[in-house]
Amino acid sequence: MTGASIHLNKFVDNLIDLGDEKAYPSIIANCTINQNTASSSTNLTSYQSLIKNRSPLLVTDTVLDGNINTAYLIGRGVNMTIQRTTITNNLVVKGGLVSGQLSNVVVSNSTMSHNTLVNSVAIDMDGSQVALHNVVIDQNIHANGSNHLIQCTVGSITMNNVVNNGASLINCDERTCSINGDNSDVCKSGRLSGGAIAGIVIGSIVGCAIIVTLVVVLVIKKK
């Protein structure tokens, strides 16, 4: 799909559903996809997407602007590359702007800004291999839920020149992806390993024991 303008649609499941896993790769190039609205019906699945890619997908030189109420803008499918693309003024609920599950995902020279994330993140990856190069994730509004921009569970993520201007960049817990690139130490300062926690606990116990022993000795000497 090249040079298309898709706007002012209301949809129930996925606005653009790109084939099955055996289909040929899909390309969305030089398109504007804006002001589309997902139904807020309570019986929708949590995988509702503006663009659902069941086959490999390339999105290039495209604008996604002002789309609202969907769980995901792009993804929840297989491998995809997003380049020179602007994602702005969208509203996602219980999902993410870009999402991959068991995927290989590359995002480069792209901007995600001024989006509203309701119980959502900018980038949501599960069991995937992810690369972000020259990506701006800036001035997005978190409404409820966590305040980090990237949720990456298991898998790996490489980040080079990712600009986030103050917001927490990535979730840091025991299941976080392995992190490489410019931001490889983003979780090290804020997360203690199990060994470090055990050391702190043991040190505290020993310290308390020493203090108690000193107090007992001083009391005995006074007597």
Identify the top-confidence range among 73-87, 103-117, 157-171, 208-222. 103-117
State the Cα–Cα distance between residues 93 and 120, nearest whole angstrom: 6
Is the model's pLDDT at 41 over the cut of 80? Answer: no
State the Cα–Cα distance between residues 163 and 151, nearest whole angstrom: 16
pLDDT value at residue 29:
96
State the Cα–Cα distance between residues 161 and 145, nearest whole angstrom: 26
Average the pLDDT over each of 12-16, 44-48, 191-195 and give the range with the smallest value: 191-195
Parallel, antiparallel, or unpaired: how do β-strands 156-163 and 178-181 relate? parallel
Using CA atoms, how far residue 140 sits from 87, 156, 165, in Å, is: 11, 24, 10
pLDDT value at residue 204:
67
- Torsion, Cα 19 78 88 39, to 10 degrees, reads 50
42 and 56: one domain? yes
196 and 174: one domain? no
Residue count of the chain, please give it: 223
94 and 127: one domain? yes
Is the model's pLDDT at 40 over the cut of 70? Answer: no
Closest CA to 77 of 102, 44, 107: 102
220 and 167: one domain? no
pLDDT value at residue 222:
61
92 and 156: one domain? yes
pLDDT in tens, 115-147: 999 888 999 988 889 999 999 998 888 877 667
132 and 201: one domain? no
What residue type is assigned to position 163 of the chain? V
79 and 161: one domain? yes
For residues 15-29, give the mean pLDDT: 80
pLDDT value at residue 191:
44
Average the pLDDT over each of 112-116, 161-165, 192-196 and give the range with the smallest value: 192-196
For the stretch 44-57, what's the b/e string if a residue is b when 16 or more beta carbons lie within 10 angstroms of its beta carbon? eeebbbbbbbbbbb
pLDDT value at residue 196:
43
99 and 203: one domain? no
Let me know: does 29 contact 63? Beta carbons within 8 Å.
no
State the Cα–Cα distance between residues 222 and 171, nearest whole angstrom: 55
List the Cα angle 210/216/221 in 5-degree steps. 125
43 and 70: one domain? yes
Helix/strand/coil for 53:
strand
In the chain, what is the straight-line distance between the N-terminal and C-terminal CA atoms, in Å?
91
State the Cα–Cα distance between residues 181 and 60, nearest whole angstrom: 23
113 and 210: one domain? no
162 and 104: one domain? yes
67 and 33: one domain? yes
pLDDT in tens, 57-70: 999 999 999 999 88
Q: Which domain holds residue 202?
A: 192-223
| Percent share of the chain, pLDDT over 90 | 34
Joined tokens for residue 154: 């298991």
The total domain count for the chain is: 2
